[in-house]
Amino acid sequence: MPSESRLPTSPKDGPFLLAALLCEKVLLEPDGVASAIRIVDQLTIQRVPDEALLKGAVVVPPVMHLSLLVILKSGNAPGTYRMQIRGRAPSGTTLDFPPREVELSKPYHGGVTHALQLDLGLREAGLYQFDVLIDDEFVSSVPLQVEFESLSPPT
């Protein structure tokens, strides 16, 4: 690990974070262009009403399939970097996704587009966050607010 930071010290250095967002689907076209479909920052999930739980209903935590899109640009700092995504649940529990070595090419506008598929077992309401780290240094965080809404019992 480097002993000193290689992250920007001024607006002209780099690398730069062009985008970090959650969406339902990422399209990566052959020409290198990425499209983020249905960008989300909050979810309302319907759950079984408490009355049904008392009657023995089995509840399986909902799993949401989302994509985390991260786009980095080289700026004046081309080279190989270690990109890490760290998920944080409302309770403070963390999950480190496998790190990825990313190569940022020499042109100022060079960079990398990374789409990480997430299958999120959402057990609790509140603010989930997905931190983007480059060489173990925090760059940005992508928030996801999750709320649960009880289904109305049949009448």
The answer to whether 146 and 42 have CB atoms below 8 angstroms apart is: yes
Nearest in space to 82 (alpha carbons), one of 95, 97, 94: 97
Confidence of residue 58 (pLDDT cuts 50, 70, 90): low
d(CA 81, CA 72): 11
State residue 10's pLDDT score: 66
* pLDDT band per the 50, 70, 90 thresholds, residue 54: low
Domains in the chain and their CATH numbers? 16-150 (2.60.40.1930)
pLDDT digits (tens, 9 = 90+) for 61-104: 678 999 999 999 999 999 999 999 999 999 999 999 999 999 99
What local confidence, expressed as pLDDT, does residue 35 receive?
A: 97
Give the Cβ contact number of residue 75 at 10 Å.
Answer: 19
Give the per-residue pLDDT at 42: 96
